[in-house]
């Protein structure tokens, strides 16, 4: 889906959208870069190669990709939204440690099996109880990263 241009084009059109250069480029950046990019991060990566692509379009494209569930949007509390590609096959799902001092974000995948099982059970009960259609969840731990800890809060 991410690798081949043809596939991406198909995917956009399948959702009723056009496959445009900005959309391809931005999706590419997300594909190649680890994670937790803000709109501005992406803009600055795109700009040297495609200076005609504007920040506005980055915002719009991120919204679109998020709605198409190709990316996840996170609000870690530093005032800017961050985005991460959802890889195929659900192998990429994970949770986060967030440093409340320097805002560093650490991915972790430990316990995913157990978390998944646990989450599934909770979802089942809560969605019935509150008649709420659950489609995703977020778990994160907050505290001090090793660097900030050693620097003394």
User: Footprint of a second copy on this chain (CB under 8 A)?
Assistant: 73, 75-77, 81, 97, 99-100, 106, 108, 110-111, 114-115, 118, 121-123, 125-127, 129-146, 149
150 φ/ψ angles, rounded to the nearest 5 degrees: -70, -30
49 binds, among Mn ion, a second copy, Zn ion, none (CB under 5 to 8 A by kind): none
Tell me which of Mn ion, DNA, Zn ion, none is bound by residue 102, counting a contact when its beta carbon lies within the kind-specific cut-off of 5 to 8 angstroms: Zn ion
Q: Which residues from 90-129 bind Zn ion, rule CB under 5 A? A: 99, 101-102, 104
Q: Which is nearer to a second copy, 47 or 60 (CB)?
A: 60
Q: Which residue has the tokens 């259609």?
A: 133
Q: How far is the CB of 126 from DNA (least distance, A)?
A: 27
- Shortest reach from residue 24's CB to a second copy, in Å: 26
Cβ–Cβ < 8 Å for 106, 150: no
- Indicate if the alpha-carbon torsion angle 81, 85, 90, 94 is positive or negative: negative
129: which 2 tokens? 């109880």
**Distance between CA 58 and CA 124 in Å, rounded?**
36
Which residue lies nearer to a second copy by CB, 17 or 118?
Answer: 118
Q: How far apart are CA 144 and CA 97, in angstroms?
A: 9
Least distance CB 10 / Mn ion (angstroms): 27
Using CB under 5 A as the binding rule, whether residue 7 contacts Mn ion is answered as no
Residue 6 exposed, middle or buried by CB count within 10 Å (0-12, 13-18, 19+):
exposed
Which residues would be at the binding site for Zn ion (CB under 5 A)?
99, 101-102, 104, 145, 148
């Amino acid at each position: 889906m991410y690798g081949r241009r043809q596939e991406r084009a198909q995917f956009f059109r399948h959702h009723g959208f056009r496959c445009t250069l900005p959309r391809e480029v931005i999706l590419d950046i997300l594909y190649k870069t680890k994670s937790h990019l803000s709109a501005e991060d992406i803009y600055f990566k795109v700009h040297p190669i495609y200076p005609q692509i504007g920040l506005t379009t980055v915002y719009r494209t991120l919204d679109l990709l998020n709605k198409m569930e190709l990316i996840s949007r996170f609000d870690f509390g530093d005032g800017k939204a961050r985005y991460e590609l959802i890889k195929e096959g659900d192998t990429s799902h994970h949770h986060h440690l967030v440093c409340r001092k320097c805002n560093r974000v650490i991915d972790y995948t430990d316990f995913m099996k157990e978390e998944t099982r646990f989450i599934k059970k909770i979802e089942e009960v809560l969605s019935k109880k509150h008649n709420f259609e659950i489609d995703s969840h977020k778990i994160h731990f907050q505290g001090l990263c090793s660097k900030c800890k050693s620097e003394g809060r």
